[in-house]
Amino acid sequence: MDATATTEQASESAPDATTERAQTDTPAPTATATATPTGPVDTDGDGLNDSRERELGTNASVADTDSDGLDDGRELELGTDPTIADTDDDGLGDGAEMLATETLPGADPLHRDIFVEIDYMAGERPEEAMLDRIEERFASAPISNPDGEDGIDLHLRVDEEVPAQEPILAANRPGELDDIFDYRRRYSQLDRRGHFYGLVVDSLEYPNASVRDLQGYALGDFFVSENPAAPGVQDNVVMHELGHVAGLGPWRHPGIDSRRIPFEAYPSAMNYRAPGDRFRFSDGSEGAADFDDWRAIASCHGWAGYDDSFPAVDDENASQAAGGKRVLSASVGCL
């Protein structure tokens, strides 16, 4: 259930993410100063005169001060910050969210977005109703945005059916298509292009006997979920694994991936004591043992400790709209 972007998206362009702020990989063209016979000078030709640029703190000699693929004048029209490459701090640069309309459809540079590509094995296609419920949870998150609205726009994009392998090993081992890493490498169409990756399977096999009862697994920017038969249980499993790729781990709170804290004290899908049908994140309001999952997610662009580089998101619309420049998204990793 992609929320409609509050700002119009440009019809063409390109991006992706890293711990550094967004930047283009080609130098900006030399600007030509413009001025009317009686009007102010616009040295870089970005639609803002030099006097106005001094007021804003932008560079009057560079059309795109923050190197996000959008000229400073265009950013003022959109309401984005021309001095900050990622105005809504969601890990996707403003240029990426405005211009990569094929790769990041519905992205909004003024409202936090999370994109997830989901593949599934034969017979395990996730129910649209389940995906809608999870997207609604994120949409109602107590997280503020530059557009004045709360929430996170979660875009769960079901992609394709992949060959069945049961059980699938939650570890990396030699061989073809015999573990979850093989599937990610072969079938992720949007891997490292501003998207997390999810795979729904019939059953998981763990090399560690102590975790055989788990129904999901997450590492870095991708996760795997079993498709439990019990109604509502998959909501909780997917919510839990999404929490991991979005930045929630036991290093952040002792109740995550643990049974040490009662569910009533830390009412979160990240708590192993959570009932199977209670898919939610906590807002930290239940006392000293509680934790604000949403605030932690808002401070992250992915699982901390994972390789913090996202190459440019290649998108034909974006590359054309940006004049051939590759627009980069911002970052992965917790702040």
pLDDT for the residue 231: 59
| Residue 15, pLDDT above cutoff 60 | no
Other residues' Cβ atoms within 10 Å of the Cβ of residue 21: 16
**11: in domain:** no
Per the structure block, which two tokens stand in for 267?
Answer: 């009412």
| Residue 7, pLDDT above cutoff 70 | no
Q: How many domains does the chain have?
A: 1
Given pLDDT bands bounded at 50, 70 and 90, which one contains residue 308? Answer: very low
Alpha-carbon span 103 to 150, nearest angstrom? 24
Report the range of poorest mean pLDDT among 157-171, 202-216, 282-296, 306-320. Answer: 306-320
Contact (CB, 8 A) for 217 and 241: yes
Alpha-carbon span 143 to 152, nearest angstrom? 7
**Is 186 in a helix, a strand, or coil?**
helix
Helix 128-139 × helix 233-245 angle, to 10°:
50
| Residue 187, pLDDT above cutoff 80 | yes
Contact (CB, 8 A) for 103 and 155: no
**47: in domain:** no
Given pLDDT bands bounded at 50, 70 and 90, which one contains residue 230? Answer: low
Share of the chain above pLDDT 70, in %: 73
Report the range of poorest mean pLDDT among 207-216, 222-231, 308-317. Answer: 308-317
Q: Higher model confidence: residue 194 or residue 315?
A: 194
pLDDT in tens, 35-85: 544 458 989 898 999 999 999 999 899 999 988 889 999 999 999 999 998
- Stretch 183-193: mean pLDDT, rounded? 79
Alpha-carbon span 178 to 189, nearest angstrom? 19
**75: in domain:** no
**323: in domain:** no
Other residues' Cβ atoms within 10 Å of the Cβ of residue 148: 9
pLDDT for the residue 268: 97
**296: in domain:** yes
Compute the mean pLDDT over every residue in the chain, rounded to the nearest whole number. Answer: 78
CATH number for position 262: 3.40.390.10
The DSSP bridge partners found for residue 168 are: 204
Given pLDDT bands bounded at 50, 70 and 90, which one contains residue 191? Answer: low
DSSP assignment, residue 266?
A: S
* Secondary structure (DSSP) of 295-308: HHHHTBSS-TTS--
**Entry pTM:** 0.79
Q: How many residues comprise the chain?
A: 335
Other residues' Cβ atoms within 10 Å of the Cβ of residue 292: 17
Range of the domain at 186: 112-309
pLDDT for the residue 22: 37
**80: in domain:** no
pLDDT for the residue 3: 40
Alpha-carbon torsion 200, 203, 207, 209, what sign? Answer: positive
Alpha-carbon span 189 to 262, nearest angstrom? 40
Given pLDDT bands bounded at 50, 70 and 90, which one contains residue 87? Answer: very high
Per the structure block, which two tokens stand in for 168?
Answer: 């699938």
pLDDT for the residue 205: 79
Q: Higher model confidence: residue 102 or residue 317?
A: 102
Q: Higher model confidence: residue 53 or residue 170?
A: 53
pLDDT for the residue 164: 87
CA-closest candidate to residue 326, choices 68, 133, 43, 52: 68
The CA–CA distances, whole Å, from 167 to 185, 189, 226 equal: 18, 23, 10
Given pLDDT bands bounded at 50, 70 and 90, which one contains residue 217? Answer: confident
Q: Scanning the structure block, which residue is given the tokens 């913090």?
A: 308
Alpha-carbon span 137 to 63, nearest angstrom? 39
Contact (CB, 8 A) for 61 and 53: no
| Residue 325, pLDDT above cutoff 50 | no
- Stretch 261-272: mean pLDDT, rounded? 96
**22: in domain:** no
